[in-house]
Chain A
Amino acid sequence: MANENENIKIVENATCTFCGCVCDDMELHVDLNEKRITKAKNACVLGRAWFAEHTIEDAPAAMIDGEEVSVDEAIEEAAQTLVNAKFPITYGLSDTTCEAQRQAVAISDYIKGNIDTTTSVCHGPSGLAFQGVGESTSTLGEVKNRADLVIYWGGNPAESHPRHFGRYAVTPKGMFTPNGKKDRTVVLVDVRKTKSAPVADIFIKPIPGKDFEVLWALRALVKGSKLSSNIEEETGVPLETLSDLAERMKNCRFGVLFFGMGLTMTRGRHFNSGALLALATDLNEYTHFVAKPVRGHGNVTGADNVVSWQTGYPFGVNFSRGYPRFNPGEFTTVDTLSNGDADAALIIASDPGSNFPKKAIEHLKNIPVITLDTKNTDTTKLSHVAFRTATYGINTTGTVYRMDDVPITLRSAFDSPFPDDETILTSIKKRVHELVLAKHYAGGASGEAKVAAINPL
């Protein structure tokens, strides 16, 4: 893979982890002297910025209260802080590898803490809807190969997932869609006419906050029920438009409903997602139909998977009784912070200090916070212990799950002087487990021997 310039390395089939599309066809040109990526072929505008801007910054690898310390000192302080807390919470995880996520859940288990991911403020409501009604879904390759009706609801992929149209769902030519976009009808449903509108054959603009009503009306029409004539007044969408869409859905060969946070973050939340998932399920009586939340961060889907396989629940999990319990609204992070429950926080690759409700941010300022991040953020600024870590997929390998649960292995482009999240979290886990076992065998020498006997997972 050498180039004419000795200091330029080319990494083929690298993966962009900026958004949930997780495109794995990047050709990265890496200047090894400068330690930066000079070109990211095939990347979209967001991906180009992701690769260009993750350079090695001159900063301490670890800080306690703003003062530079060794990584080992920071690990000791982090472990002590977590073990001594009564209600320690772990949060974030969507922008790191599954390998790091596995360590984070282990820490929460050992300290009998709380673990939650950015899912709770993204498609968490869709996760709840999934538990209520299930989901007919598919990998993105099936959409590319088969979908002749593609509906986007409450999302703006042109700006949030720029390659979703071109790589997976609208223009690519597939097995049964040899003419690409010509073989598909594209529908966009949104309360604003966004930059995604030009790709759509049909644009539907409901009254804000009326998504549930529109979805429920479509369920009724699909099942052949009559609607009252004031549906347009109620939803902003004419009956003819709804009837036409219902017919298109029933008559397509393979339909897909992609949905975004226009459903989950608004009035109705999981009811909106549930209505959409139920609509897709209903349509399977007539044809093949699937639905899929368009997930945001690079590995938020991995976080759902790891937390689920280790605990049985996707997010909002608490270990205080020595086993996992799931209760959204209680063990989700906006709640543990704004209710004032949390007395220490381990924040991994996420910035609640900027994006959370005001009240939650205020509580975060009053408790010891440990952060792992690649850059300075409002959250790292307020933290007690701050680790600067390597960027996943640029400086590290590891596993990431695309929005459709397809796992992909990352390729590293160049080394970082900073340790990666997995390394830091593994060290914290080991130390935390030692401290917990020492408590269990307080004072006894046999405790030490038993600790040594353990074959760590």
Chain B
Amino acid sequence: MSASMRIVNGKVYDPANNVDGEIKEICIENGKVVDSVSDEASIVDAQGMVVMPGGIDIHCHIAGPKVNAARKLQPEDHRHDVHPGTPFTRSGSGGTTPSTFATGYRYATLGYTTAMEAAVTPIGARHTLEEFHDTPIIDKGFYVLLGNNIFLQNLIREKRMEEFDQAVAWWVSSTKAYTVKLVNPGGDEPWKGKRNSNVSDIDEKTDEDLSPRQIIEAFIKTVNKQGYPHPPHIHCNNLGHSGNYRTTLETMKTAGDMRAHIAHIQFHSYGGELGKNPISKAAEIAEYVNSHPNITCDVGQVMFGKSTIMTADAPLAYVLKGHSKGKWVNVDTECESGCGILPFTYQEHIYMHTLQWAIGLELFLLSEDPWRIILSTDHPNGGSFMAYPKLIKLLMDEKFRHEEMKRVNQKALLKCSLPELKREYTLNEIAIITRAGPAKALGLKSKGHLGTGADADITIYDVMDDKEMMFSAPRYVIKSGHMIIENHEFKTDFTGKLLHITPEYDKKIEEIVQPFFENYYSIEFSNYAVDDRYLHDHEIIQTGINKV
């Protein structure tokens, strides 16, 4: 049931359609934006308010095996931040790793209506889909981890690229994923098989003639060839290490002019010598991204306070365990992935943490094309998605930024350009980095804008001087044409849908994968692919449109 609705008198920010703060009417029917509705449509008076498409999180960790392990791990993270139910909504618990219901409702209370889980093992796809079913309001999809997949690495090593193309498509299709995710490609085998070591260079041969660069190149090529709506989503090697900006530049260069998305690029923009304190290389990284329209990235902003590190980059989590000295989780997934989890706190007085905070802001402020440098905190790694309103305020309000700078490690500020940057984001630019940009990078043609035919995912904010307040509490949130939040109160519940792709593949590839499977996996091949019962509401996004 989705009523027709007319939103009147609102200031509309719809950058994809070049609408920048015009007073404009938006009509909704059957869950979509339409040209007009009948006079019987209900009226939403948005006088004195800002109307934007619903927010889209291109990179977060909200569902699946590692997220759930992090929830189980941290009762202390939930108990101070309860999430009561209402007659219409389920209860839950919050903190940096909220329960599924709390996750969906809290995204909605920020005006976000779509979120992409950024790292799921193929064998954990079923689990993720089950959690998605319990994650209300928002639409969601996930990126499947293939960069340390042993079978696929064998194909690259043996230069069987035709079969590689087919196998990647089979894996993506069989898991109901949205795109391919690479995390520290080549790093799992040293971790699991060589006493917890790691790769340190993009051209290092991890074993028998295979380097991270070859893996990265193979995935970029196949995904671009097949025209996935979103390119490979890459977590580069050497995350967090001083001097890693070179690895990041080399990773981007590997793409040539093919599309690639670099995840949480802030964590990959460090200069300095390995083992010593880093300095900012945000300018170098921003310059490369600015001048290469084939590259998109999300920032992975660090926000001070409690976070939870959760990553398929197991060696990185072990390094951080050495700093935090607290509890730590490691999970090896057979033939596919590693994983590390630990509680973490970013502190203003620590050089490294301040520098990370500053580099993220520098990247935003040095960005010449807001469509391609997208807002994220790599939730919950850099901080919770609940910190987005504060981050928006940091970008829109230079004075506030300078106030905040007084509270941080001053030595670190000397090693970056943040104090000199005067830029303030406009509402239109915020609409780009939180809505239109991620929709475009994801190839979601009916999201991130308010033109005719768009999904009726709409957020209406009261205009306020304090942008943190403004973006914390939209007055109305409409999802798929349903009035979910009205005057700040939940009015109904809604499940949202799964977004996934179904790239085509030659069925014969299964005969090639199967023998490997029977030897080295611990479940049966025919029980591995996820069947359609796990889809609930879903939408297949077209593959092949952006073919090169």
Contacts and interface: CB of A to CB of B under 8 A. Distances in A.
CB atoms of A and B under 8 A apart anywhere in the complex?
Answer: yes
Interface string A342-354: 0000000000000
A79 B495 CA distance: 24
A311 B99 contact: yes
Q: Report which residue of A142, A305, A405, A440 has the largest number of chain B beta carbons within 10 angstroms of its beta carbon.
A: A142
Contacts of B526: 12-13
Interface stretch (B90-98, B159-167, B211-219): B90-98
Interface string B290-305: 0000000000000000
B193 A146 contact: yes
Given A286-B195, A309-B99, A138 B523 contact: no
Contacts of B90: 106, 109, 310, 457
B79 interface: yes
Given A134-B329, A140-B522, A312 B91 contact: no
A321 B92 CA distance: 12
Given A313-B75, A454-B88, A146 B192 contact: yes
B79 A325 contact: yes
A406 to B, nearest CB: 6
A134 B309 CA distance: 13
Interface stretch (A152-160, A167-175, A384-392): A167-175
Given A308-B68, A309-B100, A309-B134, A138 B331 contact: yes
Interface stretch (A44-52, A87-95, A125-133, A370-378): A125-133
B521 A287 contact: no
B85 interface: yes
Interface string B325-340: 0011111111100000
B330 to A, nearest CB: 4
A287 B98 CA distance: 33
B493 A323 contact: no
A409 B174 CA distance: 14
Q: Report which residue of A175, A321, A440 has the largest number of chain B beta carbons within 10 angstroms of its beta carbon.
A: A175
Contacts of B69: 405
Contact of B520 (A13, A25, A174, A310): A174
B243 interface: no
Nearest to B103: A309
A323 B196 contact: no
B91 A167 contact: no
B467 interface: no
Contact of B329 (A135, A145, A309, A325): A135
A312 B521 contact: no
A310 B65 contact: no
Contacts of A456: 493
B93 to A, nearest CB: 3
Given A281-B328, A288-B192, A311-B99, A131 B74 contact: yes
Given A146-B192, A167-B522, A309-B71, A436 B87 contact: yes
Contacts of B124: 405-407
B334 A138 contact: yes
Contacts, number: 220
A112 B136 CA distance: 20
Contacts of B329: 130, 134-137
Contact of A131 (B68, B73, B341, B531): B73
Contacts of A309: 63, 67-68, 71, 99-100, 130-131, 134
Contacts of A304: 72
A254 B334 CA distance: 13
Interface in A277-330: 281, 284, 286-288, 290, 304-306, 308-314, 319, 321-326
Contacts of B95: 312
B174 to A, nearest CB: 13
Given A281-B328, A326-B75, A407-B130, A141 B521 contact: yes
A167 B102 CA distance: 39
Contacts of A319: 91
B196 A287 contact: yes
A406 B134 contact: no
A131 B75 CA distance: 7
A397 B531 CA distance: 12
Given A109-B85, A323-B84, A142 B334 contact: yes
Given A109-B90, A134-B342, A288 B71 contact: no
Interface string B90-130: 11111101111110000000000000000000011011001
B351 interface: no
Nearest to B83: A323
Interface in B471-520: 482, 492-495, 519-520
B274 interface: no
B527 A323 contact: no
A102 interface: yes
B346 interface: no
B78 interface: yes
A31 interface: no
A137 B331 contact: yes
Nearest to A436: B87
Q: Report which residue of B71, B73, B100, B523 has the largest number of chain A beta carbons within 10 angstroms of its beta carbon.
A: B523
A139 B84 contact: no
Contact of A134 (B73, B333, B530): B73
Nearest to B93: A312
A142 B333 contact: yes
Nearest to A132: B327
A453 interface: yes
A360 interface: no
B524 interface: yes
A396 B192 CA distance: 37
Contacts of A284: 196, 318, 330
Contact of A324 (B92, B130, B341): B92
Given A138-B333, A144-B522, A313-B93, A407 B126 contact: yes
A301 to B, nearest CB: 11
A168 B334 CA distance: 12
Interface in B379-404: none
Contact of B1 (A98, A407, A453): A453
Contacts of B350: none
Contact of B98 (A139, A140, A312): A312
A322 B87 CA distance: 10
A237 interface: no
Contact of A323 (B93, B519, B523): B93
Contacts of A310: 90, 92, 99-101, 134
A450 B489 CA distance: 14
B414 interface: no
A323 B92 contact: yes
B134 A109 contact: no
B493 A457 contact: yes
A312 B72 CA distance: 6
A106 B89 CA distance: 11
Nearest to B150: A175
Given A132-B327, A286-B195, A409 B126 contact: yes
Contact of B193 (A168, A254, A457): A254
A130 B193 contact: no
A24 interface: yes
A456 B89 CA distance: 10
Interface string B319-363: 000000001111111110000011000000000000000000000
Contact of A168 (B191, B482, B522, B533): B522
20 contacts: A13-B527, A127-B72, A133-B327, A137-B332, A138-B332, A139-B123, A142-B192, A144-B522, A309-B131, A310-B90, A312-B99, A313-B71, A313-B75, A313-B78, A313-B93, A321-B82, A323-B84, A323-B91, A324-B82, A436-B87
Closest 8 pairs (CB-CB, A-B)? A141-B334, A312-B93, A141-B522, A138-B332, A134-B327, A136-B330, A323-B82, A312-B78
Given A130-B73, A304-B72, A310-B100, 11 more contacts: A15-B527, A102-B130, A134-B327, A139-B334, A142-B192, A175-B519, A306-B130, A314-B72, A322-B84, A408-B523, A457-B493
